[in-house]
Amino acid sequence: MRKREFETDRGTLRYWVSENDEETAQLVFLPGLTADHRLFDKQVDCFAQRARCLVWDPPSHGESRPFSLDWSLDDLALMLEQILSREGFERPILVGQSMGGYVSQAFIRLFPDRACGFVSVDSCPLDRSYYTAIELWALKHVKNACRRRFLSWTSIPS
């Protein structure tokens, strides 16, 4: 894997691309929040001889620091598209773990004909229509319920 850099006005993104330039499958590995490219080391080791692989450190993660923290999922999808175009990834399979899955979904929404596949690892759908009204209601109240539960665990009477 060769390390590459992509300059933006917010910081420098660092990513790695396999040396395999053959006409073959293209796999793009996108780690989640708090993770970096090392999350996919074993997968890249396995596939780099048979496919073109790309893995990044998302903005504000790993070697892509310092980086302004004002990015959105759409911003990440746009940066990813620029990197994929630069590297000649025409129809990649996106493999996203947690936040990487959200970036993948944003990418697919913005560029519906670019990816030929998507593997979600521990991500939920971004589209609100997937969720029922009661699930959306419950999500709004999870923070307070968790806060009350945490406080009850940590408030041990003396």
The predicted-structure confidence for 82-130, as pLDDT tens digits, reads as follows: 999 999 999 999 999 999 999 999 999 999 999 999 999 998 887 778 7
Q: Is 14 helix (H, G, I), strand (E, B) or coil?
A: strand
How far apart are the C-alpha atoms of 155 and 47, rounded to whole Å? 49
| 106 part of a folded domain | yes
User: Looking at residue 49, which CATH number applies to its domain?
Assistant: 3.40.50.1820
| 118 part of a folded domain | yes
Whole-prediction pTM value?
Answer: 0.83
**Count of structural domains, the chain:** 1
| 144 part of a folded domain | no
| 48 part of a folded domain | yes
The predicted-structure confidence for 50-73, as pLDDT tens digits, reads as follows: 999 999 999 988 899 988 888 899
Q: What DSSP assignment string belongs to 108-158?
A: HHHSTTT-SEEEEES-----GGGS-HHHHHHHHHHHHHHHHHHHHHH----
